[in-house]
Amino acid sequence: MTSASSSLLSPTPRANAQRSALADLTQETLALTRRLFLQLARRPSTLVAGVLQPLIWLVLFGALFANAPEGLLPEGMSYGRFLGAGVIVFTAFSAALNAGLPVMFDREFGFLNRLLVAPLRSRSSIVLASVLYITALSLVQSVAIMATAWVLGYGWPGGAGLLLVLLTLLLLVFAVTGLSLGLAFALPGHIELIAVIFVANLPLLFASTALAPISFMPAWLGWLAAVNPLTFAIEPIRAAYAGHFSLSAVVLHAPYGELTAAACLGVLAALAVGLFLLIRPLLDRKLA
């Protein structure tokens, strides 16, 4: 150590008080996002497993139901082509549902306290950073899934389809990440959070249109699938895979009515905003 002759250790008057809230929010969000990407870069196994797993799903499920009876799927779609959208959405959903785990570990190890003693403009930046990270990760996974599906002869949704996938995943990831982070702040520890993730994950998959259409399900399950957020994300992407995509086209034939792609995305957006407003008080509890 050297002695401090200069004013190295003297306090300074706040000079940046007039900085805009948006600039601050951007800086803190990007810094938190950078941390997540640095972690990923140094633990690439997360990425490798995250890309491999959905491909295995695609190949195995595709093979399992390759001989599904004629007429199971609308418009004589092959099962592989049908499945792609389900795997894309489910993969992003799983990643977003797990987003709360690192935050929970930060809580348990005390690292979160470092973030909470800092003058964050909003603790929402912790949520936003996770959303950015998971969305980017999901896009990489989705592109890998789509490329594999194309190789397997299950088709390609086209450029517009790619844009649609991006938009849909962003909305879904926003909603589910918000929920997961809310749980990470509300539950007592990681054991409880893992239990919730475990209980929510696969049932939501099976009670959606990821693996089979509503027309194939018993009425009660059809109703569940028709209100399941995953379904609202899957059907627009699936329509793009079927090759006749437009936002005003009906993509979901629910027991309560017909929904267009735009309506599905609207539901997802409403869900994202609703969940975000719901968890805000959890983030800011006790002290803002």
Partner 1 sequence: MTHPVIDLENVSKRYGKGEKAVDALNGLNLQVPAGSLFGLLGPNGAGKTTTLRILATLLAPSSGRVEVAGLDALADPRGVRERLGYVAQEVALDKILSGRELLQLQGDLYHLPRSARDQRIAELIELLGMADWIDRRSGTYSGGMRRRLDLASGLLHRPDVLVLDEPTVGLDIESRAAIWTVLRQLRDQGTTVLLSSHYLEEVDALADQLAIIEGGRVIASGPPSELKAALGGDRVTLRIREFSDEPEALRVQQLLQACPGVRQVVVNRAQGFSLNLVVENDGVVEQLRRQLAEAQLPVFALAQSRPSLDDVYLQATGRTLMDAELAVAGVRDAKAERKQSMR
Contact residues toward partner 1 (CB under 8 A) are: 1-4, 7-12, 14, 16, 19, 23-24, 27-28, 30-32, 34-35, 38-39, 42-43, 106-121, 188, 286-288
Among residues 139 and 283, whose Cβ is nearest to partner 1? 283
Q: How far is the CB of 68 from partner 1 (least distance, A)?
A: 45
| Beta carbon of residue 16, minimum distance to partner 1 (angstroms, whole number) | 6
The token pair at 189 is 């520890």
User: Smallest distance from the beta carbon of 283 to partner 1, in angstroms?
Assistant: 11
Task: State which residue, 110 or 159, has the beta carbon closest to partner 1.
Answer: 110
Contact 82, 154 (CB under 8 A): no
Both tokens of residue 141? 């996974």
Q: Which letter, b or e, does each residue of 26-64 get, where b requires 16 or more Cβ atoms within 10 Å of its Cβ?
A: eebbeebbeebeeebeeeeeeeeebbeebbebbeebbee
Helix (H) or strand (E) holding 200: helix 190-206
CB of 137 to partner 1, least distance (A): 17
Q: Cβ atoms within 10 A of the Cβ of 149, count?
A: 25
How far apart CA 161 and CA 239 sit, in angstroms, is 9
Q: In terms of CB distance, is 114 or 244 closer to partner 1?
A: 114
103/210 with CB nearer partner 1: 103
Q: How far is CA 220 from the centre of its chain?
A: 27
Q: How far is the CB of 89 from partner 1 (least distance, A)?
A: 30
Closer residue to partner 1 (CB): 38 or 202? 38
167 burial level (CB within 10 Å; 0-12, 13-18, 19+)? middle
Q: In angstroms, give the least distance from the CB of 190 to partner 1.
A: 11
Q: Which is nearer to partner 1, 28 or 235 (CB)?
A: 28
Residue 120 CA to residue 118 CA, distance in Å, equals 6
Nearer to partner 1, 29 or 91 (CB): 29
Min dist CB 51 to partner 1, Å, is 20
Local structure of 256: helix, strand or coil: coil
- What are the strands, taking DSSP E only, across the chain? 250-254, 257-260
Nearer to partner 1, 3 or 248 (CB): 3
- Find residue 85's DSSP bridge partners: none
- Backbone Cα Rg of the chain: 22
Least separation in angstroms between CB 288 and partner 1: 6
141 near 54, Cβ under 8 Å? Answer: yes
